[in-house]
């Protein structure tokens, strides 16, 4: 019937009708009555029914035309109307669709809507959970392995012949079972047994095409359902492995539980909601105890699951696989258990050996042993392997080689999940066809090894970028690099840092229900070995985590048959773990972070603890029914807030808010519990009463939790917990998530020449003398050398000369791209402080190596300045549109370097120091711009513009050219050389390139010049920081406490949702992914506000990569404005091209309000007010900018980088004759350059190392008592790889107390060091830097440091240590005493592991405190490494 309906030309599709009568048991007579009524309306409609729901609720699914559906909607309830479309479902398109349903709790109420399609989320784990099969104690034993409990699996079916479904040793089928074993294609009734006690399948909604390659039965063609079922309740099966890997017994979490199979998912895992609803309905009838559903769809919920819960069935869902982006969690209904995925303590180390190295590198793979065990050597071919992009590698060069796939900058824009799954699959197929002998993939997170399963016996190894960089550096220019790869091994145990939340695991908050904290719990979901047809294979996903919890729930149900689903959920959440071996659980992402409740809810599941939780948060099913209310209703808000869940979420804390909870004593009758509160930063929590006393007659106790803000600010979510402790075994902890909102706004927004490049003018020069005539720059002040335009042979000739130390091609470096001064505490009007005491930087010369300068800008006025400092030896080089008299007492010198450029490079440029790009002018005015009144950007950010050191002088070196502001090595090195000669005090370089370092900066530092570099704009991915040399100051970017809120008013009266046009406009929804080939439909967008909303796509791309394309497309389509939903709001200058058209960033918290503003029959209207300027402490700042590059350095991990953070987001400064916003570490760099100039003016005897030490050791890690956060996917508390020592505090830096000075000779040792040398390692770690980084802590390691007293002569300092988790630090001596003749003191810092664990970087600090004003703190980063035969990936 379904097939016929789908093939008719009458535009039929599946429609779900739900009849509800106050959730009372539904009588047959009621159903008959309803059916008669339907016949009256349309008999042929009734004939099209494919599924009938009667056990949990009353309703049906039918294949109907739109008119038939409308007739039914109007006939049963005149007020009900058919929804013509749902998101992603178009009722005007002739096709068969699948389902989504909204439940209403009013008598005789009908809902009717099209069915939508939901997708599946894609064994040592039981031992990792403590479920020891052989132990005579514990949950598994006490629950009789789950015997008697029935787990319903709604999935793709089952493969009954698998050994995992043997019923050996099981008792009879439980008497409560009322189900059936439905036969079908290759599935007979006798294939059910005492393990698989029932099977049903649902295909009435499918077409013949849907069924291609499928079994019309409960048999599993996909294998997903088989894997899930065996994970939940598979029998004990010996001698299982994947080609020898992970060998041992396979078993489910509840191996004696019974399985009821409901095949509602078909093909590649498409699950029709019509079928899923029928499966839930049947499961209620059949008598299952637990329902496990490893499926879901973003922005959709299975409300029918409530009926199962009301019937005492615990329902467990997968949380989704769209992480690590926030607000991606699915299946967030409060009555279900939503499960996140985590790793476990099993790895598959794979050794990579290089032909030219004595050390091995280690990755992970599923490369299994071949019969001959003859591991051959193969040449390495390097490639980006981005086969899904236009940057396709030349696969013909890969034949017969091992391919190193290494593209860190591209991966930084791609989810760590997407790369291993999607790009690896494309690369494997392409490279296998090309005849490659193996692949080495570099990526950030490796939770999904099954992505390389298709490699078979060809080695496909996943490595981190540190390993990839070392392999790359091992290659020699003249000889091919050879490698061999040995088969993977299995490593199990506590040395593997686990669990970690999987990168792919979806994160909270729920975009639909932010009032309910989700996910609830985490369980093993990465690289799970379980049954697939007749074999066993690895799969990863929250789909794999879900059945682990389902199995544990079955064990609990067996042990506590009287426990409600709510109590079971409470026990899971309140006993979950937040740490392992004393180390906090981490969450993989970009970057990795310490996990919070939006990653794992209560924590990682702890089965043996949850058998006795002490207290439980139970829920009366009637309270769930009360949730069926209008979310805008105040009573609804109260119902949501006070639902008795084992968690608390307050998405908008505007004023003191009280939440009610009740706990039930399920432990010892007489017990006293005390409240233990961990308040979110900046939030005060009061619990009344704070002591609960229970007795035999008093099983329940209620309490109030009141939340208030200690400081008014606008922030992201903050996390804490509330626990009830009885002083014994019970610590009943629930997670808390609070989002402070101050104000009525709930969010704001806020060619390549080389040193030997062929050139026609020198092509025929043959002698060495002729080659030397091609010199374009000569370096003589810092070191002896030159740059020349040479052929390759000429370069080779010069390289062979004995007096030549090195020769290399000149590379091209990109530029990294005013209230900030006040935010830093540099008050221009104050008669005290650094700015005043340093005379505003007068007498200090700041050299700017950049794209030039616009001399006419008011920021470069020399009004009020004294004569040019006498030490200045530079010049003002004239050129195109730049006269020598355009230098003055502010711009005291200018040089430019174009000898290396072609005519093409100079198009649109000035052959002078004049800035055609704007970048150099912006940087220079930020560092040392004069005081300029009445500055704003079209009225925004009005006030005075000024530089950090407004009286400092500027020396301009134009080494960057063209619209892209490309900066060549040759020009930059010449600029360094000239700056040393000219007498600058500070050099500011907002430039850099991943993989390159400016070693020429060393000569400037040796000459007493402080050199400041931008850290790069490739964040938030780790290992992207540039300019990581230890003698320079590397600057990260952060936000400031200024935003530009823009009010969007909705036509339904809901206003002030977020941050020139007075009219109302319709909203046109679009993904706006222009770079992917998607267009903004001009016929639909013209005259409207385009709402760019694509959360899953945004989660795998830079928040800013698509903005300019989307704006351009919207303007071309005739749109009246554009609203872009994104995760990062750091760069508003992307909207500069919008002009008068409103272009607005909103976060995803605002999306739900905008989406819900209209109803099903009307399009929402919006009006956008002009932006305002908002400055002050109510803005949560600083935060590390999303784009800011993160450590560790891939080239020099021994030196902790970046060093400090400074304002770099939305900085208003000079650009030609105007003032514009720009963002980037390029903008952060000149802030620090200006502060360095002030410090140099105040302390002219301080060396560059002391200035750097003062900045790092006095930097701030918090503001208003709140930790500094780092924007990313997801947001996290900042660590040293985000901001080094912290956010700069200029006034504190004037008097740091102690300083870590460095003798320039020590830098010489670093420059001349070969990193493979053991003595080199000692030189690196003992370099006297104001930070400590140990990238490979394999054994107790001692580091030496020396501090110089730059404060009061007589002083005593004591060591204050914050140890990284799992690392022990001892300081000798721990007390330092200074006096007039004793300015320097040395000490030793020894690091050792408290627990042997192979881990990621861990962070801590060492501070010297004098008990008064000085707290001299340096950051520490440690990476424990247990063995060379395993790497944590």
Q: Is 1179 left (phi over 0), alpha (psi -120 to 50) or beta?
A: beta
**Which member of 46, 224, 227, 1414 is catalytic?**
224
Task: Indicate if the alpha-carbon torsion angle 786, 787, 788, 792 is positive or negative.
Answer: positive
Is 322 within 8 Å of 298 (Cβ atoms)?
yes
Is 578 within 8 Å of 720 (Cβ atoms)?
no
- CA nearest neighbour of 1256 among 1233, 1215, 1290, 1224: 1290
- CA nearest neighbour of 649 among 542, 507, 510: 510
Is 1057 within 8 Å of 1050 (Cβ atoms)?
yes
Distance between CA atoms of 1406 and 928, rounded to whole angstroms?
34
Taking the CB of residue 740, how many other CB atoms lie within 10 A of it?
27
Token pair in block for residue 243: 């080609």
1432 is catalytic: no
224 is catalytic: yes
Is 151 within 8 Å of 292 (Cβ atoms)?
yes
Is 942 within 8 Å of 973 (Cβ atoms)?
no
Q: Could you identify the residue written with the tokens 């947001």?
A: 1275
Distance between CA atoms of 409 and 897, rounded to whole angstroms?
29
The kind and range of the H/E element at 1404 are: strand 1402-1409
**Which member of 850, 1279, 1282, 1410 is catalytic?**
850
**Which member of 121, 711, 919, 1395 is catalytic?**
919
**Which member of 230, 305, 412, 543 is catalytic?**
543
Q: Give pairs for 26-30: CB < 8 Å, separation 24+.
A: 26/54, 26/57, 26/58, 30/58
Token pair in block for residue 452: 């390389």
Distance between CA atoms of 572 and 551, rounded to whole angstroms?
12
543 is catalytic: yes
Please name the residues in contact with 28: beta carbons below 8 A apart, sequence gap of 6 or more: none
| C-alpha angle 573-525-547 in degrees, rounded to nearest 5 | 65
Q: How far apart are the first and last CA of the chain?
A: 52
Task: Indicate if the alpha-carbon torsion angle 859, 862, 864, 869 is positive or negative.
Answer: positive
Q: Could you identify the residue written with the tokens 């700069």?
A: 1288
Q: Could you identify the residue written with the tokens 């999987």?
A: 502
Distance between CA atoms of 1346 and 1391, rounded to whole angstroms?
17
Task: Indicate if the alpha-carbon torsion angle 448, 451, 452, 454 is positive or negative.
Answer: positive
CA dihedral 82, 87, 93, 98 (to 10 degrees): -80
Is 1405 within 8 Å of 1420 (Cβ atoms)?
yes
**Which member of 1226, 1233, 1247, 1405 is catalytic?**
1226
**Which member of 147, 155, 203, 322 is catalytic?**
155
Token pair in block for residue 479: 């000889």
1226 is catalytic: yes
Question: E-assigned strands of 395-476?
Answer: 402-405, 438-442, 460-463
281 is catalytic: no
HSE, side-chain direction, 13 A CA sphere, residue 1042: 23
- Concatenated DSSP letters for 864-896? T--PPPTT----B--BTTB-GGG--SSEEEEEE
| C-alpha angle 1299-1305-1309 in degrees, rounded to nearest 5 | 110
Distance between CA atoms of 1390 and 1401, rounded to whole angstroms?
17
968 is catalytic: no
CA Rg, the chain, in Å?
33
- Phi, psi (deg, nearest 5) at residue 976: -55, -50
Task: Find residue 111's DSSP bridge partners.
Answer: 18
Query: Would you please indicate which residues are annotated as catalytic (active-site) residues?
Result: 155, 224, 543, 850, 919, 1226
């Amino acid at each position: 019937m379904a097939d016929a309906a789908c093939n008719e030309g009458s535009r039929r599709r599946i429609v779900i009708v739900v009849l509800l009568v106050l959730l009372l048991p539904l009588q047959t007579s009621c159903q008959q009555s309803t059916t008669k009524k339907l016949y009256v309306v349309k008999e042929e409609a009734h004939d099209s029914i494919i599924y009938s729901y009667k056990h949990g609720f009353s309703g049906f699914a039918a294949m109907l035309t739109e008119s038939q559906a409308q007739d039914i909607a109007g006939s049963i309830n005149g007020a009900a109307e058919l929804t013509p479309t749902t998101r992603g479902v178009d009722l005007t398109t002739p096709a068969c669709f699948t389902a989504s349903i909204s439940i209403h709790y009013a008598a005789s109420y009908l809902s009717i809507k099209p069915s939508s399609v939901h997708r599946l989320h894609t064994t040592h784990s039981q031992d990792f959970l403590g479920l020891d099969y052989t132990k005579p104690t514990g949950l598994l034993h006490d629950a009789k392995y789950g015997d008697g409990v029935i787990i319903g699996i709604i999935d793709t079916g089952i493969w009954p012949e698998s050994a995992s479904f043997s019923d050996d040793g099981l008792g009879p089928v439980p008497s409560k079972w009322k189900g059936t074993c439905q036969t079908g294609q290759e599935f007979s009734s006798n294939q059910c047994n005492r393990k698989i006690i029932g099977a049903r399948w649902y295909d009435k909604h499918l077409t013949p095409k849907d069924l291609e390659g499928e079994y019309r039965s409960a048999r599993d063609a996909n294998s997903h359902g088989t894997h899930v079922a065996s994970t939940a309740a598979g029998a004990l099966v010996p001698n299982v492995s994947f080609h020898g890997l992970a060998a041992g017994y396979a078993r489910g979490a509840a191996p004696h539980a019974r399985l009821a199979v409901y095949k509602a998912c078909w093909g590649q895992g498409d699950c029709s909601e019509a079928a899923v609803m029928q499966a839930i309905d049947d499961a209620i009838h059949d008598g299952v105890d637990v329902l496990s559903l490893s499926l879901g769809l973003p922005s959709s919920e299975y409300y029918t699951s409530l009926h199962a819960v009301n019937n005492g069935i615990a329902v467990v869902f997968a949380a989704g696989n769209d992480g690590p982006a926030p607000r991606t969690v699915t299946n967030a209904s409060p009555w279900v258990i939503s499960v996140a995925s985590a790793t476990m303590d099993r790895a598959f180390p794979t050794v990579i050996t290089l032909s030219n190295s004595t050390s091995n590198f280690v990755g992970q793979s599923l490369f299994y042993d071949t019969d001959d065990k003859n591991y051959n050597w193969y040449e390495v071919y390097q490639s980006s392997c981005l086969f899904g992009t236009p940057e396709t590698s030349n696969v013909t060069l890969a034949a017969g080689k091992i391919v190193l796939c290494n593209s860190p900058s591209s991966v930084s824009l791609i989810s760590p999940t997407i790369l291993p799954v999607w790009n690896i699959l494309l690369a494997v197929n392409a490279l296998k066809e090309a005849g490659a002998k193996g692949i080495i993939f570099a990526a950030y997170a490796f939770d999904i090894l099954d992505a390389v399963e298709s490699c078979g016996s060809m080695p496909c190894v996943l490595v981190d970028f540190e390993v990839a960089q070392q392999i790359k550096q091992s290659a020699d220019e003249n000889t091919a690099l050879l490698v061999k790869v040995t088969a993977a091994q299995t490593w199990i145990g506590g040395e593997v840092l686990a669990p970690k939340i999987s990168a792919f695991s979806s994160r909270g908050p729920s975009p639909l229900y932010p009032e309910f904290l989700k996910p609830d719990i985490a369980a093993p979901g990465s690289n799970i070995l379980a049954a697939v047809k007749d074999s066993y294979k690895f799969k990863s996903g929250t789909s794999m985590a879900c059945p682990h919890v389902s199995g544990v729930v079955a064990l609990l149900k067996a042990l506590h048959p009287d426990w409600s689903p709510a109590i079971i959920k409470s026990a899971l959440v309140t006993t979950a773990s937040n740490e392992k071996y004393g180390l906090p659980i981490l969450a993989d992402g970009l970057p990795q972070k310490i996990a919070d409740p939006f990653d794992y809810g209560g924590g990682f599941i702890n089965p043996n603890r949850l058998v006795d939780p002490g207290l439980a948060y139970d829920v009366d099913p009637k309270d769930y029914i009360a949730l069926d209310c209008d979310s805008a209703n105040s009573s609804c808000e109260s119902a949501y807030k006070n639902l008795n869940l084992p968690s608390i979420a307050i998405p908008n804390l505007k004023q003191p808010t009280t939440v009610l909870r009740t706990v039930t004593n399920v432990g010892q009758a007489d017990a006293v519990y005390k409240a233990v509160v961990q308040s979110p930063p900046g939030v005060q929590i009061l619990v009344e009463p704070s002591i609960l006393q229970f007795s035999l007659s008093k099983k329940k106790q209620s309490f109030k939790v009141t939340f208030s803000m200690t400081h008014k600010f606008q922030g992201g979510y903050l996390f804490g917990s509330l626990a009830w402790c009885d002083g014994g075994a019970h610590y009943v902890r629930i997670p808390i998530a609070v989002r402070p909102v101050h104000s009525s706004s709930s969010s704001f927004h806020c060619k390549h020449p080389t040193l030997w490049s062929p050139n026609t003018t020198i092509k025929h020069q043959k002698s060495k003398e002729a080659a030397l005539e091609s010199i374009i720059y000569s370096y003589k002040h810092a070191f002896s050398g030159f740059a020349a335009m040479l052929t390759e042979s000429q370069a080779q000739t010069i390289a062979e000369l004995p007096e030549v130390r090195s020769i290399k091609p000149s590379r091209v470096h990109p530029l990294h791209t005013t209230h900030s001064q006040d935010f830093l505490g540099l008050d221009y009007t104050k008669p005290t402080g650094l700015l005043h005491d340093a005379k505003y930087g007068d007498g200090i010369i700041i050299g700017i190596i950049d794209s030039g300068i616009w001399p006419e800008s008011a920021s470069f006025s020399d009004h009020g300045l004294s004569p040019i400092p006498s030490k200045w030896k530079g010049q003002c080089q004239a050129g195109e549109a730049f006269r020598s008299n355009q230098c003055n007492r502010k711009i005291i010198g200018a040089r430019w370097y174009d000898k290396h450029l072609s005519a093409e490079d100079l198009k649109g440029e000035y052959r002078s120091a004049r800035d055609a790009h704007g970048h150099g002018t912006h940087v220079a005015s930020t560092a040392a711009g004069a005081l300029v009144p009445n500055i704003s950007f079209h009225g925004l950010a009005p006030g005075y513009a000024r530089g950090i050191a407004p009286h400092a002088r500027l020396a301009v070196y134009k080494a960057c050219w063209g619209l892209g502001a490309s900066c060549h090595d040759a020009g930059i090195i010449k600029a360094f050389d000239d700056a040393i000669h000219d007498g600058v005090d500070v050099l500011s370089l907002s430039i850099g390139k991943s993989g390159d370092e400016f070693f020429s900066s060393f000569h400037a530092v040796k000459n007493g010049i402080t050199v400041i570099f931008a850290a790069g704009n490739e964040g938030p991915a780790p290992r992207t920081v540039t300019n990581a040399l230890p003698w320079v100051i590397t600057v990260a970017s952060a936000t400031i406490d200024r935003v530009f809120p823009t009010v969007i008013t909705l036509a339904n009266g809901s206003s002030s949702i977020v941050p020139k046009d007075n009219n109302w406009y319709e909203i046109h929804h679009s993904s706006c992914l222009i770079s992917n080939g998607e267009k903004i439909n001009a016929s639909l967008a013209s005259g409207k506000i385009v709402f760019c909303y694509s959360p899953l796509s945004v989660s795998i791309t830079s928040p800013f990569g698509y903005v300019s394309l989307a704006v351009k497309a919207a303007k071309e389509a005739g749109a009246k404005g554009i609203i872009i939903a994104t995760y990062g709001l750091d760069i508003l200058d992307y909207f500069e091209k919008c002009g008068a058209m409103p272009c607005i960033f909103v976060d995803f918290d605002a999306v739900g309000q905008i989406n819900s503003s209209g109803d099903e029959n009307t399009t929402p209207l919006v009006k956008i007010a002009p932006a305002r300027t908002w400055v002050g402490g109510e803005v949560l700042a600083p935060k590390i900018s999303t784009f800011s590059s993160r450590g560790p350095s891939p080239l020099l991990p021994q030196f902790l980088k970046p060093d400090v953070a400074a304002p770099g987001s939305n900085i208003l400064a000079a650009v030609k004759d105007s003032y514009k916003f720009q963002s980037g570490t390029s903008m952060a760099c000149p802030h620090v350059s200006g502060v360095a100039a002030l410090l140099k003016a105040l302390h002219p005897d301080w060396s560059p190392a002391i200035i750097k030490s003062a900045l790092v050791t006095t930097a701030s890690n918090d503001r208003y008592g709140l930790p500094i956060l780092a924007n990313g996917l997801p947001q996290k508390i900042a660590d040293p790889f985000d901001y080094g020592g912290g956010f700069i505090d200029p006034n504190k830096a004037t008097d740091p107390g102690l300083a870590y000075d460095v003798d320039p000779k020590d830098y010489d040792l670093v420059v001349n060091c070969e990193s493979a040398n053991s003595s080199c390692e000692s030189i690196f770690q003992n370099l006297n830097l104001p930070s400590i980084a140990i990238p490979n802590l394999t054994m107790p390691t001692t580091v030496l440091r020396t501090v110089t007293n730059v404060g009061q002569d007589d002083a005593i300092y004591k060591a204050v240590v914050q140890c990284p988790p799992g690392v022990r630090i001892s300081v000798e001596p721990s007390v330092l005493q200074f006096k007039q003749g004793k300015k320097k003191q040395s000490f030793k810092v020894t690091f050792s592991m408290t627990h042997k664990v192979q881990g990621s970087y861990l962070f801590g600090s060492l501070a010297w405190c004098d008990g008064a004003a000085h707290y001299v703190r340096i950051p520490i980063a440690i990476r424990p490494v247990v063995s060379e035969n395993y790497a944590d990936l």
